[in-house]
Amino acid sequence: MHVIIDTDAGVDDSLAIVYAANSSELQIEMLTTVSGNVPVREVTQNVLLLKDFLQLKAPVFSGAEVPRVRKLVTAPEVHGEDGVGGYRILHNISKNDWETGEAANKIVEAARRLRNKLTIISIGPMTNIAKAVSIDAEAMRAAGNIIQMGGVFFGYGNTTTFTEFNIFVDPDAADFVLNEGVRVKFVPLDVTEKLFMPRTIITSLFNSSKGMDSNLKKLLKQATDYYILYHRVTEKLDGCYLHDPITIAAAVNPKWFKFVDSFVSVETKGDHTAGMTLADFRKRKQKGNSEVAVSFDAEKFLLDFAKKVFGVKISSSVIRKNCLRDRNYPKFSNILE
């Protein structure tokens, strides 16, 4: 499968890129970068560093510096000032040899050339995707799949009460893409937060890892430690989520996922709800503008992820006992008691 990975490479993006690079099912055509977790300059340097460690041949193109309409919001508290938990800052790594600003044009060129053979995996804000649609909507509509890590439909968000970060950063881009008739496959928090990686298991995977480049291992370990510390301090969760690797898995093996056809709208104007994704799943007979993942086989994914990223096998019993969880849904029973 020919894929483009459009990323705002922070911590889970970095794990996702490693997972994709080690998945023979995917042929990475290029990696494109966008501001999100950190500004695009930092993102691009992270992707170039990962490319070196992984010995990837795919080109890297930087893209949008700011969202389509509004000011950029980043998340250094989650991913570090450099997006990888301070690894590049600690080692004084700065890369300046990327080709700048061409991401959207390069995405369009690939869409024109590969058409339905191309899958675009967006694991950041949809700013580059929207710009590509504005350049050639027909080519983007002809692409095989656009898989977006984003949105939340059945519970609380991770940025504001009912918003997920990628859509929150640039809701206008997501809204534009959908309104131009470009179908999107959403992998939302409703799915990705059903799998939680405790710190003990992450540590075990790193300690027993086989075949991983030593520098890549150091980068991922420092980045993941930072990511886990954020969850521990803010949510009292001693571990982390794998939002972006799970989204890569939707391309690696779509059979692990159940997608439901729906019409998705994105709120762009609300003072408290900008970035909120809405879908009426009661209207099942209507052809929608999107497909939304509502469940996935977390066990099969994690077995595959551990093997490809760390070179080790994780037992199904460990996964079922420690990694599967219920999401935090709005519940009123405890309030009414």
> What amino acid positions are annotated as catalytic residues?
243
List the Cα angle 121/15/126 in 5-degree steps: 30
Three-class secondary structure of residue 147 per DSSP: strand
CA-based max dimension of the chain: 61
Token pair recorded at residue 15: 């794990």
Nearest-angstrom CA–CA distance, 70 and 269: 11
What 3-state class would DSSP assign to 98?
coil
Cβ burial 247-276 (10 Å sphere, 16+ → b, else e): bbbbbbebebbebbbbebbbbbeeeebbbb
Q: How far apart are CA 55 and CA 212, in angstroms?
A: 12
The answer to whether 332 touches 319, Cβ cutoff 8 Å, is no
As to burial, measured by CB atoms within 10 angstroms (0-12 exposed, 13-18 middle, 19+ buried), residue 146 is buried
Helix ranges restricted to H, 91-136: 103-114, 127-135
> Cα separation of 258 and 281, whole Å?
14
d(CA 266, CA 129): 15
